[in-house]
Structure 1
Amino acid sequence: MKRFTNLQTDLLRTFVTVVDLRNFTETGVALGRTQPAISLQVKRLEELTGVQLLSHRGKKIELTADGQTLLGYAREILRLNDRAIANLQRAKLLGTLRIGLPIDYSIEYFQSIIVEFAHANPQVLLDIRCNRSSDLLASLHVDDLDMVIAITDVMPAPYVSLYWSEHPVWVCGRNYRIDPDSPIKLIAHPDGCFYRKRMIDALNADGRDWHVSFETPGISALQHAVVAGMGVTALTKKTLLPGMRILSPKEGFARLANVHVGLFYKHIKMSDAALKLIEQITHGVESFRSTTLTHRK
């Protein structure tokens, strides 16, 4: 009979916290253990799994390929463990939950999930902030937000719980015509936007001239500028409006690289309320996504 290896949650919690904090001493402080105890727990987990999970480059701690694989399962196991305990103990969902939503993505869908959560849990105070993805992630890193949905350029990324890929497409107004003798008029978010970068990289690679003719931080103003015929932009198919048309490579607009959208949070700082909302978002993403969920972390 096959003997199963059981991964202890305390070892997994130590492993996830080390990955999040990238420091054994800080992990010990966060979990109430000494630095040697943290090192021993990581070593014990490596013995159980039979693989090296972390590597050291000087003082820098990095995940190995096997560590990256385990990290997704570890976060999910801990989330389920903590939710089970909270439900069994009938934990009250109290406190304030600070949530960041991106203005450069399909914000409406995630707003609806949060509204449903708010109605079911009126005792939880919500602090919802909408901003650029890069600014939201910066706020999460300094503990100014508890959880964030954001677009990023590279995956996996620090504190990501799950992520999926979206394929941006070139779009313009339904009756808009491209002048082959003039620079491409771009409608874009300000510098730092991943859609903007992909458009400019693609045009530069093809040696085409371009000019940002309309710049706005908000998705609504950008969408309406496209419909009004002020130029071209890149959007995901979820954010297309009536009156837009997709531009094809035959019209001179090369395929754009994918962007990555993720749910980010620091596991050791999650309250019962946050874990419940994370569970709802996780389930919601399954029906929302247009492409296969890339990874759980």
Structure 2
Amino acid sequence: MRKFTNLQTDLLRTFVTVVDLRNYTDTGRLLGRTQPAVSLQIKRLEEVTGVRLISRMGKRIELTPDGQTLLGYAREILRLNDRAVANLQQSSYSGTLRIGLPVDYSIGYFQSIIAAFSRENPAVLLDVCCDRSPALLSALHTDALDLTIAVADSMPAPHVAVYWSERPVWACARDFKIDPATPLKLVAHPDGCFYRKRMIDALDAEGRDWHVSFESQGISALQRAVVDGMGVSALTRKTLQPGMRLLTASDGFPKLSKVYVGLFYKHVRMSEAALKLIEKITADVSHYRLPTRTRA
């Protein structure tokens, strides 16, 4: 007969909080336990799972590969636990949610999810910030945001709950003429954008000259510039617009590396209203793009 191992939610909550705060003392203070009690709970969880989850180097706390694997599952278990309790107790949803949306990735899609949530929960005040992904992740790290959708260069990444990958494609105006004798005109987000980096890395690898002819923070401005024939850009298929055409290897354009898109939050900071919105985003994303459960 199969032997079942049960993961206690209090142990998982301590584990996730330690990872989010990177500090045993702060975790104890937040959860109402002493620092030694937190250490014992982490040790108990490691005994139950049979693997080492956290390594400590002085004051630094790092996840082991097994810890990275468990973290995504732990976040999901806690989210379901807390949502179940809230629903059984018929909790009302109120307060303010600070949400980040990336200007460089399908902002309209996620904006519609959040707008629907707002209509269904009028007592919840929303503060939505649209910015570049690195700025959004920095704001989450400093607790200026409660949750954010963001594009990342690689996965797993800190505080990610679910993520999926997208492969950008080369796009230009339908009648755009490419002259191989001149530098390729690029339409791009400012330096630091993952799409921009993938274009430049691919062109540099082939020794091809390029020039950024149009630069903007917002996706709509880039889309307009491409349609107007200002140059070539890297977009996801869902951000392609009428009047554009794809450029492939047959046109002399190499395949671009994938980018990763994720839902990021710190579970320890989540209100019941935030958990409800996270549940809605997670459910809707499963129809939009098959998400990958995180390992970090």
Structure 2 distance, partners of 1:222, 1:251, is 21
The residue identity in structure 1 corresponding to 2:149 is I
- Look up the match of 1:294: 292
- Look up the match of 1:169: 169
The Cα of 1:155 is off from its aligned counterpart by 1.0
- Does residue 9 of structure 2 align to residue 33 of structure 1? no
- Look up the match of 1:127: 127
Structure 2 distance, partners of 1:211, 1:171, is 16
- Look up the match of 2:60: 60
TM-score normalized by the length of structure 2: 0.97
Structure 2 distance, partners of 1:129, 1:208, is 37
1:96-107 alignment, distance < 5 Å: 96-107=96-107
For 1:42-92, what per-residue CA distance to the aligned partner results, in whole angstroms no more than 9, with x for missing partners?
A: 000010011111122333221111111111111110000000111111111
The Cα of 1:39 is off from its aligned counterpart by 0.6
The secondary structure found in structure 1 opposite 2:261 is strand
- Long gaps (5+) in structure 2: none
For 1:263-295, what per-residue CA distance to the aligned partner results, in whole angstroms no more than 9, with x for missing partners?
A: 011101100100000000000111111xx4232
For 1:77-122, what per-residue CA distance to the aligned partner results, in whole angstroms no more than 9, with x for missing partners?
A: 0000000111111111110011010110001111111111111100
Identity of aligned residues (%): 70
- Long gaps (5+) in structure 1: none
Q: Aligned Cα RMSD in Å? A: 1.0
The Cα of 1:249 is off from its aligned counterpart by 1.4
Structure 2 distance, partners of 1:270, 1:178, is 50
The secondary structure found in structure 1 opposite 2:28 is helix
The Cα of 1:2 is off from its aligned counterpart by 2.9
- Look up the match of 1:42: 42
- Look up the match of 1:198: 198
For 1:131-183, what per-residue CA distance to the aligned partner results, in whole angstroms no more than 9, with x for missing partners?
A: 11111111111111111000011211111111100100111001111100000
- Look up the match of 1:94: 94
Structure 2 distance, partners of 1:182, 1:218, is 27
Deviates more, 1:247-256 or 1:167-176: 247-256
The residue identity in structure 1 corresponding to 2:293 is H
Structure 2 distance, partners of 1:84, 1:6, is 18
TM-score normalized by the length of structure 1: 0.97
The residue identity in structure 2 corresponding to 1:48 is V
The secondary structure found in structure 1 opposite 2:118 is helix
Deviates more, 1:57-66 or 1:15-24: 57-66
Q: Aligned pair count?
A: 295
The residue identity in structure 2 corresponding to 1:280 is K
The Cα of 1:189 is off from its aligned counterpart by 0.6
Structure 2 distance, partners of 1:34, 1:279, is 32
The Cα of 1:250 is off from its aligned counterpart by 2.1
Contact 2:156/2:294 (8 A) holds in 1 = no
Deviates more, 1:47-56 or 1:266-275: 47-56
The residue identity in structure 2 corresponding to 1:223 is Q
Deviates more, 1:117-126 or 1:52-61: 52-61
- Look up the match of 1:146: 146
The secondary structure found in structure 2 opposite 1:231 is coil
- Look up the match of 2:184: 184
Structure 1 distance, partners of 2:240, 2:2, is 52
Structure 2 distance, partners of 1:153, 1:259, is 6
The secondary structure found in structure 1 opposite 2:61 is strand
